[in-house]
Chain A
Amino acid sequence: MSNNINDDDVLICRCEEITKGEIREAIRKGATTVTMVKKLTRAGMGLCKGKTCSKLIQAIIAEETGIPISKVDFDVQRAPLRPIKVGTLANYEEEDLVSEEVCSRIL
């Protein structure tokens, strides 16, 4: 088990620079879901919106708490899927929702 290895310095969320140790600390404080870890540490709040780290965090929660990984609640998905300019949000029209660029970013 990786518990025996001191890997607390491993970076899990690259956008917000959150380490495995910080995530373990959040779990010790009672976080049992990816959303709760996010709120306690900011992991997953950066530009990529947790695309890289969410699954890793889910695994760390399972490893630390013994909850089966399939039972660890994933993060709530929030629009937009990818960062989008505030100006684009301001100007899109209903018809644009069929345009690929806006559609893939907003919905």
Chain B
Amino acid sequence: MQEIKSTQTVIIGGGIIGLAIAYNLAKMSHKVIVVEKTYIASQGSGRNAGGVRQQGRLPAEVPIVMEATKIWDTLSEELGVDTEFRRTGNLFLATTDAELEAHHIMSERIRKQGLDVYVVDEKEVRRIVPALKEGVCKGGSYSPSCGMANPLYTTLGYGAKARSLGVEIMEYTEVTDIRTINNRVDGVVTDKGYIKCDRVVIAAGSWSPALGKMIGIDIPITPCRNQMMVTEPIPPLVKPFLLTGTCYCNQTKDGSMIIGNVDPEDYCLGNSANVNEFKISARNMINYIPQLANVNAIRTWGGPLDLTPDDMCMLGNIDELEGVVLACGFAGHGFAIGPIIGKLLAQYIVSGKPELPIDEFRFRRFKEEKKDKEVVYAYGQAVKKFRD
């Protein structure tokens, strides 16, 4: 195939991860081309609920998401767009005593890592969210420094800023193969031609396994449906991002309520919503916030979360092939930590020295000796159980 371009790094995937890496690399005068199958922010980065949550994270992710939240504070100025980021707080509700006990354990562990998260009783929960019905929860855990932002504006902002720094973003360009020579990456074959490069970053969310196949690696991502509805704008009703089990709701800056849920059993790559699932999330949320019953839902949509076996993303090089960097499998945490992942991976690519350790997210962990694997998996399962 005719070579059309050549660059230092090709990033596959025009979501917040790929664009934040591109933007940070461009700031370090590194040559980047982003290849996106459709258009930027077309998938999870443009259609998630916008939560910037620090609590309830795995230990390895806590320092990363705390650093990310600091970047969020000034990201609007940095990108020159309104990301709508506000520190609204994040509230996890507990409906049983056993759940509340789990909140105690999780909160204490994360508090030791420096986060302002504490367990609250029902009275305090109702002080934070006065609209909450009495007697429906046992309390919960609350982190006031968490927040929410507008995913679409943020991701488009990263794209525009990256472009202004010279990053080329090729939209409607599909990668059909990754070509290797002597066990290292030579370039990326696309339907628009060949791009010769030193390095390929796989940042394609739930579509990453298909790219892994091209180079003979098995990227363990399971796409699972996350879906939400948005209502008409209403006066301020719920300040924090509210989570309970697999359902959640939050109120955007313009006053619309987003009500969503994750169905961990529903594996799919589509953008559609399952109408029957909304019965569950609508019932669930009305049970907590009765006023929601009279609000009009306007639109529904869905999208896949890229779940991994241990709920942790994959970052960095792989042993199998030189020149491949993974940045995928964010399991629904990618939007919140996108800004810091962009910075860390850019540092990793340019100097090999990211300012925060990312070793725990190595791809190799899935193959390492059983003991480590069991620890990692056990933790993932514990978190899953806690969520259920």
Contacts and interface: CB of A to CB of B under 8 A. Distances in A.
A joins B in a complex: yes
Interface of A: 30, 36, 39-40, 45-47, 49, 76, 78-80, 83-87, 89-92, 106-107
A86 B299 contact: no
A49 B283 contact: no
6 contacts: A45-B299, A49-B299, A83-B298, A85-B296, A86-B293, A91-B279
Given A39-B41, A79-B273, A47 B293 contact: no
A78 B299 contact: yes
A14 to B, nearest CB: 15
Given A86-B231, A89-B278, A106-B275, A40 B156 contact: yes
Interface in B238-271: 259, 271
A86 B152 contact: no
B273 A84 contact: no
B301 interface: yes
- The 3 A-B residue pairs whose C-beta atoms are closest, nearest first, are A87-B293, A90-B282, A83-B296
Contacts of B46: 39
Given A40-B156, A76-B271, A106-B275, A89 B297 contact: yes
Contacts of B361: none
Contacts of A91: 279, 283
A47 B41 contact: no
Contact of A78 (B152, B231, B273): B273
A89 B301 contact: no
Contacts of B271: 76
A19 B293 CA distance: 33
Contact of B232 (A39, A47, A79): A47
Given A39-B41, A90-B283, 4 more contacts: A45-B299, A86-B231, A86-B282, A86-B286
A90 B273 contact: no
B297 A85 contact: yes
Contacts of A80: 297-300
A85 B286 contact: no
Interface in B284-301: 285-286, 292-301
Contacts of A79: 273, 275, 300
Contact of A86 (B41, B171, B259, B301): B259
A37 to B, nearest CB: 12
Nearest to B41: A39
Contacts of B231: 86
B366 interface: no
Contacts of B156: 40
Interface string B180-199: 00000000000000000000
A36 B231 CA distance: 21
Given A39-B41, A39-B152, A79-B275, A84 B297 contact: yes
A10 B273 CA distance: 34
A86 B273 contact: no
B39 interface: yes
A83 B271 CA distance: 20
Interface string B45-72: 0100000000000000000000000000
Given A76-B271, A87-B294, A92 B300 contact: no
